[in-house]
Structure 1
Amino acid sequence: MLDTFISQILATSAIEWAAVVLALGYVWLAARQNSWCWACAFASTAIYTWLFWQVTLPFQAGLNLFYMIMAIYGYYQWHRRAEGESRVRSWPWPWHVLLVPGLLMIGWGLANLASGQFNNEFLWLDACIQVLSVVTTFMVAHKVLQNWVYWFFINLASAYLYAQSGLMLSACLFAGYIGFSIYGYIQWQSELRQQGSEHAYS
């Protein structure tokens, strides 16, 4: 088992290594609210769009194509707002209770529609990750705190999916993202509390 894992890591292509390094740069900078995260996101997702298409994960390929567009949108959102408007915000929990099941149903429907065209036993997981990730990326662009909770579960599912698809380095990356999700949540929650304190004393 360990020998197989090591051999798969050693066999990882240079282009996948580049995607992984850039992806790590993205999540680290995003947690610190550094706008350079969007440049890393654009480059990494451009590579992943091609990689996922090669291993017949069409929804992941489409998702990363979407991420490329969102990298431009996210950069614009983070820069266009005045200092007082570009702040972390929180959505009420009832929104998430309604939102998540609805998104999973959409993912299930997409997988059923694509099942006749693509032969992949994990198509449903591929589709659900795509749908949840689309919404969560908008949450990042608009600095919604709960995006990190969504990413925690998305990254867990993605690590499993990529491992099953033979992309072991990317699976390790997304397993590492689970820790970054916790780090990002703590960072943004701390800023949200600070904003509340500033507002209370203003």
Structure 2
Amino acid sequence: MIDFLFSQYKNYPNYEIALELTAIFFGLLSVWFAKKNNILVFPTGIINTAIYVYLLWEWSLLGDMMINFYYVIMSVYGWYIWTRKKDKVDEFPISKITSSEIKKGMLLFLASIALVISVYIFFDKLTHWTSYIDTFVTGIFFVGMWLMARRKIENWILWIIGDIISIPMYFAKGYTFTSIQYVFFTIIAIYGYLEWKKILQQKTN
């Protein structure tokens, strides 16, 4: 069983395995801080995604690499948004998505898919079924990250969907550690949604 799950790592450089495990550690921390509505979600997330940008480039997973590069940028944006206060109160508290944001989210989803497809075609990487799923998941995660930066509770729904799809996808690609990471991401995201929902209900009561 162990050999089945991790045999692909026998040809990996030790430093890549160490980097992947380090990224996973900070990724789990980041999702946990997001669940707690704690601003540390962003610095820990930046470490996680910056490491993955490098690893995914090395592994030639361009769509995944683009997602993580986008995460780095959106983490900086989210970090700034979450620090903004008006009369000592968060200017962007936990809230529900607006109709305007739904439209913007749909445009972001379509634009990200178009961008990833273009990159895959340019590098002639649209050759495996995982590339098509990767393109779809990229769109989900792009919108999810944008919504999280703006503290919209619906971000958790997109994370849950994307995480569930990512579990078998990364396993099929041969990255068992990262696949296991997404199992934990899914569990934490479910609790994150429930916790944010509770906070939102307390504010509206």
Which TM-score band (shorter chain)?
0.7 to 0.9
Aligned to 1:147: 155
State the AA in 2 paired with 1:165.
K
Q: What amino acid is the match of 1:118? A: D
Deviations 1:7-55 (A, max 9, x none): 4578771010100000000000011011111110111101000111122
Deviation of 1:160 after TM superposition, in Å, equals 2.0
Q: CA deviation at 1:96?
A: 5.7
Deviates more, 1:122-131 or 1:21-30: 122-131
Greater alpha carbon shift after TM alignment, 155-164 vs 91-100: 91-100
**What is the root-mean-square deviation in Å for CA atoms of aligned residues?**
2.7
- Name stretches of at least 5 consecutive residues in structure 2 with no aligned partner: none
The aligned amino acid for 1:125 is I
> Normalized against structure 1, the TM-score is what?
0.85
The answer as to whether partners of 1:104 and 1:128 remain within 8 angstroms in 2 is no
Match of 1:27 in 2: 31
| Residue 87 (structure 2) pairs with residue 87 (structure 1) | no
8 Å CA contact retained: 2:42, 2:76: yes
Contact 1:136 1:151 in 2 (8 A): yes
Tell me, yes or no, if the aligned pair for 2:46 and 2:75 is still in contact at 8 Å. Answer: yes
Structure 1: 5+ residue runs without aligned partners? Answer: 198-202
The one of 47, 50, 53 aligned to 2:54: 50
Q: 1:194 aligns with which of 172, 191, 202?
A: 202
Superposition pairs for residues 5-20 of structure 1, below 5 Å? Answer: 5-8=5-8, 13-20=17-24
Q: Match of 1:78? A: 82
Residue 117 of structure 1 is matched in structure 2 by 123
Sequence identity of aligned pairs in percent?
23
- CA distance in 2 between counterparts of 1:21 and 1:8 reads 20
Distance across 2 between alignment mates of 1:95 and 1:74: 16
